[in-house]
Structure 1
């Protein structure tokens, strides 16, 4: 014998009459236009909340349940980033994924980025020569004055780049051939020298 409790959600058992959605399955599984037709029916349903909760608990991935689309059900189960969590990189990423703006997270992320750039700049200054092109660009992004070693590194790199470009341009120009002598036409009348 078939166990109906497996097929029929418990909130539907014992209802006095049919729900507003009874027999209208096609509008509960379609696109947004059909969702607009289904939601008013859900609003009149006596088991709307139980239906939505059942769909969330059973991870129903499609259709309108309890007046909610699949996206609305997913969003209803997400917990917003906790306030004590704000300021961490994890909370920042969560806010970005959810399209939320959180001033403490944005500010903390800006501080983390600046600290990382300062750390990288210190490594560039500790390297051979005490400066580099990367150090020059980091100083520019950080709004710091350029150190002499980084300034020298960027000038040297720029000079090397110009020399390389110049040699590439010269290599690309074909050698100009010597002008060819005009052939002498034996049948042409000889020109008299004046």
Structure 2
């Protein structure tokens, strides 16, 4: 089975520094169905060596990279992480992050309540600064009692 990429047949030709080889590689690229994608990828990623998508090293150097995308507006999750990665703080972004975290905890708490109340549900209630429901409180009470019994048993064996 032959490759749909013409460059696969003679890969060394595409990394030659001889001008005649480069011209031959450019001509081969013109018949490739992936020429545009290959050239765009080489320019965007700053590939320094070889002929890619019909563009030699010098031709790629003279092409301009597309401008970076506009940064996300403050008050969004994406902007929060951009600030965080730079070690910055931003009140609108911090407020949005807090709202996202609370919404995620409420969603998870709903799942725990669907199980009939759990220790995780109790912990989520506490993280949301709210009084735990009866089901979650009861499970937590039983879990704490069991933990006390295990500690007492471990002490008596020692």
Q: Shorter-chain-normalised TM-score: which range? A: 0.5 to 0.7
Gap runs ≥5 in structure 2:
1-67
2:100 maps to 112
User: Where has structure 1 moved over 2 Å in runs of 4 or more?
Assistant: none
TM-score scaled to structure 1, two decimals?
Answer: 0.44
1:95 counterpart = 2:89: no
1:152 maps to 138
TM-score scaled to structure 2, two decimals?
Answer: 0.53
Gap runs ≥5 in structure 1:
1-78, 173-194
Flag the structure with larger Rg. 1
2:55 maps to none
CA distance in 1, matches of 2:156, 2:88: 55
Structure 1 residue 145: deviation in Å? 1.7
Deviations 1:109-140 (A, max 9, x none): 0000000010111110001xx11111111111
State the aligned residue count: 92
CA distance in 1, matches of 2:129, 2:83: 28
Structure having greater relative contact order (Cα 8 Å, sep ≥ 6): 2
Question: In structure 2, the residue corresponding to 1:85 is in which secondary structure?
Answer: coil
Instruction: Give 1:136's match in structure 2, choosing from 85, 105, 122.
Output: 122
